[in-house]
């Protein structure tokens, strides 16, 4: 399925740091359908590729709706959406994919943390339309940080439990009562790593497949101890310095070198590049061991030391 060219039809601030975007196809083209939990990958104005969960009903969509949080340490994606994706801006959007599908169950527990509410809200709306039993636990720092709060309260009533921890580790929600005894239900959880790690830890005694997670950041693209290094592009002879806080892909993009990418999180394989020499710190989740001596995923991997020579 080919990529879509879509226009920002509307923007709506949900909190100080979260903005909802309504994307419409050019010339009224028919959009692919999608199920709750699906996401689209968008080429943001900065050219960074980022995944965003779809919020609206996907059965016969005329638009796609996403919500984007301005990340405090954004490397270009979310900041450029907030600053540059104004009404009328055209964006390249890959067709929906779903790595977080809902299965059939007698009952559902939906757990959201912060911006992780986006797929959870989509799931809740679908379950509500189908008349299926569900409950939501939605954890955020404060009411002011809680996207869709009023809408979800109006739609779901006492099926929604909202908890604010005020950023205090001593006030985080205690999930144990929900997981102490395995239940005949499916759980879907999306949020920051500490939340999902907690749910994973306390649900280890549940049957496999009952507790499901969505995580768009399976690897740390940049780590605290990373250091700058150079990559040499064999075909052009160009040398590019990769700063400690940028990926190879981002450094090449910053230098005006055309790159091809999709997930930019080490999971899809689109940016696979032939490695001619150098010692690589492989951080992707795609390459087989036998491929690693001659290939590198430039969206996440780095040099262990010295420079890397790439077939570019």
pLDDT tens digit sequence for 54-75: 999 999 999 999 999 998 776 6
- Range in 47-51, 188-192, 217-221, 294-298 the model is least confident about: 217-221
What size, in residues, is the chain?
312
Would the pLDDT of 16 be above 60? yes
Flag whether pLDDT at 218 surpasses 60.
no
Calculate mean pLDDT across residues 70-86: 86
The correct answer on CATH 3.40.50.80 for the domain covering 108-214 is yes
State which fold the 229-310 domain adopts: Ubiquitin-like (UB roll) (3.10.20)
pTM over 0.95: no
Residue 262 binned pLDDT confidence (cut-offs 50, 70, 90): confident
Q: pLDDT tier at 221 (50, 70, 90 boundaries)?
A: confident
C-alpha separations of 175 from 109, 214, 219 in Å:
11, 18, 26
Beta strands in 3-124 (DSSP E): 4-13, 18-25, 39-43, 49-53, 64-69, 90-93, 108-113
Residue 215: Cβ-neighbour burial (10 angstroms; 0-12, 13-18, 19+) = middle
CATH 2.40.30.10 residue ranges in the chain?
Answer: 4-93
CATH superfamily, with its number, for domain 4-93 = Translation factors (2.40.30.10)
Residue extent(s) of CATH 3.40.50.80 domains in the chain: 108-214
Q: Give yes or no for residue 278 having a pLDDT over 90.
A: yes
**162-211 pLDDT, tens per residue?**
999 998 989 999 999 999 999 999 999 999 989 999 999 999 999 999 99
- Cα gap 8→89, rounded to integer Å: 5
Cα–Cα distance measured from residue 19 to residue 153, given in angstroms and rounded to the nearest whole number: 19
pLDDT (0 to 100) of residue 27: 82
* 217, pLDDT greater than 80: no
Q: What does the pLDDT read at residue 206?
A: 97
The CATH 3.10.20.30 domain(s) of the chain lie at 229-310
What's the pLDDT band for 237 if we cut at 50, 70, 90? very high
- Give the pLDDT band (50/70/90) at residue 224: confident
């Amino acid at each position: 399925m080919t990529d879509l060219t879509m226009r920002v039809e509307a923007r709506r601030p949900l909190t100080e740091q979260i903005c909802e975007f309504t994307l419409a196809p050019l010339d009224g083209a028919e959009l692919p359908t999608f199920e709750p939990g699906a996401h689209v990958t968008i080429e943001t104005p900065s050219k960074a590729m980022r995944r965003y969960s779809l919020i609206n009903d996907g059965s016969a969509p005329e638009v796609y709706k996403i919500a984007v949080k301005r990340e405090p340490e954004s490397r270009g994606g979310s900041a450029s959406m907030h600053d540059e994706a104004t009404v009328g801006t055209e964006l390249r959007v890959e067709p929906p994919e779903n790595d977080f599908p809902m299965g059939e169950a007698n009952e559902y527990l939906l757990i959201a943390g912060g911006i992780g509410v986006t797929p959870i809200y989509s799931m809740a709306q679908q379950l509500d339309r189908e008349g299926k039993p569900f409950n939501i636990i939605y954890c955020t720092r404060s009411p002011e940080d809680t996207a869709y709060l009023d809408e979800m309260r109006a739609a779901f009533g006492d099926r929604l439990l909202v908890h604010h921890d005020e950023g205090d580790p001593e006030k985080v929600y205690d999930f144990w009562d929900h997981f102490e005894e395995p239940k005949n239900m499916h759980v879907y959880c999306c949020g920051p790593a500490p939340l999902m790690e907690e749910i994973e830890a306390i649900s280890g005694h549940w049957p496999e497949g009952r507790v499901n997670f969505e995580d768009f950041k399976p690897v740390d693209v940049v780590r605290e101890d990373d250091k700058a290094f150079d990559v040499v592009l064999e075909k052009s002879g160009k040398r590019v310095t990769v700063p400690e806080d940028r990926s190879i892909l981002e450094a090449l993009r910053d230098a005006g070198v055309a790159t091809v990418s999709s997930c930019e999180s080490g999971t899809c394989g689109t940016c696979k590049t032939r490695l001619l020499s150098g010692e690589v710190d492989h951080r992707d989740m795609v390459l087989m061991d036998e491929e690693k001596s001659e290939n590198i995923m430039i969206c996440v991997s780095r040099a262990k030391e010295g420079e890397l020579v790439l077939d570019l």
